[in-house]
């Protein structure tokens, strides 16, 4: 089946640094990818919709200048957490939308666990 990868799987960084997370669709082209964040004991919250070749669409309350999204190709979207703070520590998950054969299926990456010290 379709596979979506994320890198890194986990990262620990100091407060104030920037962290880049990559999301790749491995065997299909994804014009749309989604970035979610999940805090402990809570559900996934959509942060932004990443569209290949255009600007991302951010959900209300998500700072676009802090969470930079780039979707430069049909198989890669990146999320950069700029000037990370401890409250940004979370589980970040991407998903990629596959529109093959008229079906619409979203496949999730394995997630990236970020810890900001």
Interface residues with another protein (CB under 8 A)? Answer: 32, 34, 42-46, 49, 57, 91, 93, 95, 97, 104-106, 108-111, 113
Q: Give residue 31's Cα distance to chain centre.
A: 14
Contact 41, 24 (CB under 8 A): no
Shortest spacing between CB 16 and another protein, in angstroms:
26
Shortest spacing between CB 86 and another protein, in angstroms:
19
Q: d(Cα 42, Cα 26) in Å, to the nearest integer? A: 28
Residue 102, φ and ψ in degrees, nearest 5: 75, -5
Pick the closer one to another protein by CB: 82 or 113.
113
Pick the closer one to another protein by CB: 82 or 97.
97
Q: d(Cα 80, Cα 40) in Å, to the nearest integer? A: 21
Pick the closer one to another protein by CB: 20 or 97.
97
Name residue 69's beta-bridge partners.
79
Shortest spacing between CB 64 and another protein, in angstroms:
16
Shortest spacing between CB 83 and another protein, in angstroms:
26
């Amino acid at each position: 089946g379709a596979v979506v990868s994320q890198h890194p799987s986990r990262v620990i960084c100091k407060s104030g640094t920037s962290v880049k997370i990559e999301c790749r669709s491995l065997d299909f082209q994804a014009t749309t990818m989604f970035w979610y964040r999940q805090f402990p004991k809570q559900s996934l919250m959509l942060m932004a919709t990443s569209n290949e070749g255009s600007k991302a669409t951010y959900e209300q309350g998500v700072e676009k200048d802090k969470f930079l999204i780039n979707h430069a190709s049909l198989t890669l979207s990146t999320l950069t957490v700029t000037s990370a703070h401890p409250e940004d520590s979370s589980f970040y998950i991407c998903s990629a939308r596959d529109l093959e054969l008229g079906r619409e299926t979203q496949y999730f990456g394995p997630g990236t666990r970020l810890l900001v010290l």
